[in-house]
Amino acid sequence: MTRIFEQFEAIFPDRVELSARTGWDLPVIGTIDVYGNSSAIYSFAPADAVIGEAHAFFDNVGVVPTGTYGLAERCPLLVLRSPRR
């Protein structure tokens, strides 16, 4: 997460300008600061792997899009129906 923070700082060095251009409040923009010295690493299983695991417990499993915003295809909603009994 530190690398993401560093990239954010490099791309948007002037947060006041970013706020003016986007309409985002400065405290909202400032939430990125928590990652400045973070040692956290995030990883996500491929959708097919999650679906495969979910089939052990649910008969009907799928993913649906969450929107049309940039990178929405990387954030699908996992839908689980009809739990197995």
Q: Is residue 42 part of a domain?
A: no
* Cβ pair 15, 29 in contact under 8 A: yes
Are 7 and 29 within one domain?
A: yes
Q: What is the pTM of this model?
A: 0.56
Q: Is residue 7 part of a domain?
A: yes
Are 56 and 78 within one domain?
A: yes
What pLDDT score was predicted for residue 18? 97
Per DSSP, what are the bridge partners of residue 77?
Answer: 64
Q: Is residue 75 part of a domain?
A: yes
Average pLDDT over residues 32-42: 91
Number of domains, the chain: 2
Burial class, 8, CB count within 10 angstroms (exposed 0-12 / middle 13-18 / buried 19+): middle
Rounded CA-CA distance 45/3 in Å is: 21
Q: Is residue 8 part of a domain?
A: yes
What pLDDT score was predicted for residue 57? 95
Instruction: Report the Cα–Cα distance between both ends of the chain, in Å, rounded.
Output: 40
What pLDDT score was predicted for residue 82? 85
Residue numbers of the domain that contains 6:
2-35
Q: Is the pLDDT of residue 52 over 90?
A: yes
Q: Is residue 41 part of a domain?
A: no
